[in-house]
Structure 1
Amino acid sequence: MTSRLRKFKEAAFGYGFLLPSLAGFSVFLFYPFLKSFYLSLHSMNPRGQIVEFVGFDNFIDILTSDHFYQSLKTTFFFALLTIPACIFIAVCLALLTYKKNKINLIFQLIFASTIAVPIGNASVIWKLLFHPTAGMFNYFLSLFGISPVGWLTNPAYALLSVSMMTVWISIGFTYLLLLSGIKGIPEDLYESAKIDGAGSFSIVRRITLPLLSPVLFFISVISVISALQSFSQINILTEGGPVNSTNVVVYDLYQEAFVNYRFGTGSAQAIILFLIILLFTIIQFRLSERKVHYS
């Protein structure tokens, strides 16, 4: 009896530490999710009042809509433009600046500085850079005799332009994670490889990247989730345009719920997006985790 009582007290003590986090998750995560699922099963008026129960009709309307699949295609293309580029650039920068010296410390500060810039502020700055007449990008193009580009007004360039800004704002966090991972690799491994005659490229390919695989795996998972949930930069830079060329799923969801006041359909779209992200996360764990070296 005494042993059971002691185990109960230890469990209660542990759950006591978890209680604040569980309360936060319940208020800001679990309840909104359950509420969204409840609203997705109903038709609502513009004032947000439930009109009638419609079951899965909202889901059927979305899954049979060409507009939804177009926004989904745009979202996936946006993820392909941003995630590989961000990881590749961050890996290169981390490999070039991981050694301890004064010059590298300055570069580390510069490369990691984007983590301190709010995405809203960054979007406003880049919107000025993309300006068709007063923007710096078109000014530099004019120096080489190249005609101005409609970075945010031309459907051929809009998504690429938003992706450039997203890569820039994401590099700081990705760079810091990779830099920490590289610094955690024992120097003895590098010294042994050099004694055996291994070159720089061979060391990176056979030692650095395999030992960085846990960090790369973590970055890939959170990057996919972040890319599929991108909204702020789309809203500020293009508002889903031009001609829906940057209308990703989250922005389309926002338009559906808070502009068209179709809260039931918007909630159903949010649930579908959650399931898509969950599916991609599971696939990443199944396919990539086996290639991760934890020691």
Structure 2
Amino acid sequence: MSAGEQAVAEKIQQYRVEKKSTVWQESKNVRVAMLYLLPSIVLFSIFLFYPMLRTIYLSFFLTDAQGTAALFVGLENYLYILQSSQFQKSMLSTFLFVLYTVPTGVILALFLAVLANEKIRGIGLFRTLFSSTLGMSVAASSVIWLFLFHPTVGILNSFLGLFGIGSIPWLLDPTWALISIAVTTVWMNTGFSFLILLGGLQNIDRHLYESARIDGAGYFYRLFRITLPMLSPTMFFIITITFINSFQSFGQVDILTRGGPAESTNLIVYSIYQDAFINYQFGTASAQAVILFAMVFLLTLIQFKFGEKKVHYQ
């Protein structure tokens, strides 16, 4: 073998050794990473992946009272609920509820965050008040509003009486019941949205505002040309989270109206609960859960597809 061929052979051998070492190191890094992720994977598997797969599985079966699959029916559960007037009314109520809560909650939280971001004396007290709902459970908040909505001794009707307005059956009238649930939900979710938006506002570079003031820009020009564009990533996050949470609202419905009156507040999550744990029809309940998951997943994808284009990350 000539000296040149020997040098080439040595380089090839060295390359193979280095490549083998690199592959081993990458494999080692993967094993270490998987070891750190193992607790999270186990918890997600137990509390998320298995229930999701079990729900999809049960949606193709008729079940007994214990939730055990008894008879395979294929897509009949889906066809049944899609043709059910109760399910259609539930979907309509859910979409109206989302329409009431998401825009109102986001706009209210943004308004409060902009106010709380001003550097004025005593603003810390208002920040605490605006975010106070974050520390209250759904059950406690719903009980508070249950007393506020009381048709005879509730504070809301007493306040309306001061202006000569008659009492409103907030939770007893199909027209007002869904609005009442929406008001309660907006009040409960405002604290979280407010804190996130306030954090986003405080992360905006103050030099942008100073430069705009030097150029003679007014308050509303700075708001629409600087604040909102720079806050758009935080706004996109809040809108997405609020949108998903509104589809999953349950506690306030269960405590305030139990889906009534006349099923006007029978949101889809509460409908799933009724079918599964009151009527023991786990198959149809699972089918509704799968439809809800698919619907929220699709709408979230659409939101990311078109909404993210208006987000300014720099």
Please classify the TM superposition score into its range, dividing by the shorter chain length. over 0.9
1:237 to 251, 256, 259: 256
Write out per-residue CA displacement over residues 193-245 of structure 1, whole angstroms, 9 at most, x where no aligned residue: 11111110110000000011101111111111101111110010000001111
Distance 2:68 2:109 in 1: 47
2:69 to 37, 47, 50: 50
1:16 to 7, 23, 35: 35
2:52 to 33, 40, 44: 33
Q: Which moved more, 1:37-46 or 1:168-177?
A: 37-46
Larger Rg: 2
Q: CA deviation at 1:3?
A: 1.8
- SS of the equivalent of 2:62 reads strand
- SS of the equivalent of 1:48 reads coil
1:277 and 2:301 are equivalent in the alignment: no
Aligned to 2:15: none
1:140 to 159, 177, 184: 159
Distance 1:196 1:49 in 2: 70
Distance 2:37 2:313 in 1: 27
Aligned to 1:90: 109
Instruction: Using the aligned pairs only, state the percent identity.
Output: 47
Corresponding letter in the other structure for 1:2: S
Aligned to 1:209: 228
Aligned 1:54-65 pairs, distance under 5 A: 54-65=73-84
Write out per-residue CA displacement over residues 174-211 of structure 1, whole angstroms, 9 at most, x where no aligned residue: 00010000000011000111111111011000000001
Q: CA deviation at 1:46?
A: 2.2
Q: Which moved more, 1:42-51 or 1:211-220?
A: 42-51
Q: CA deviation at 1:8?
A: 1.0
Distance 1:52 1:162 in 2: 38
1:165 to 177, 184, 192: 184
Distance 2:86 2:306 in 1: 31
TM-align CA RMSD: 1.0
Q: CA deviation at 1:255?
A: 0.9
Corresponding letter in the other structure for 1:137: L
Corresponding letter in the other structure for 1:163: A
Q: CA deviation at 1:48?
A: 2.4
Q: CA deviation at 1:9?
A: 1.1
- SS of the equivalent of 2:153 reads coil
Corresponding letter in the other structure for 1:112: S
Aligned to 1:268: 287
Distance 1:27 1:97 in 2: 41
Distance 1:271 1:252 in 2: 13
Distance 1:79 1:157 in 2: 15
TM superposition outliers: structure 1 runs of 4+ over 3 Å: 99-102
Aligned to 1:292: 311
1:73 to 83, 88, 92: 92
Q: CA deviation at 1:50?
A: 2.3
Corresponding letter in the other structure for 2:83: T
With structure 1 as the length reference, what TM-score do the two structures score?
0.98
Q: CA deviation at 1:45?
A: 1.9
Distance 2:71 2:152 in 1: 51
Distance 2:229 2:37 in 1: 35
- SS of the equivalent of 1:55 reads coil
1:122 to 110, 133, 141: 141
Distance 1:210 1:22 in 2: 37
What count of residue pairs does the alignment treat as equivalent?
Answer: 295
- SS of the equivalent of 1:52 reads strand
- SS of the equivalent of 1:226 reads helix
Aligned to 1:190: 209
Q: Which moved more, 1:270-279 or 1:4-13?
A: 4-13
Q: CA deviation at 1:259?
A: 0.8
Q: CA deviation at 1:60?
A: 1.0
Corresponding letter in the other structure for 1:140: F
Aligned to 1:248: 267
With structure 2 as the length reference, what TM-score do the two structures score?
0.92
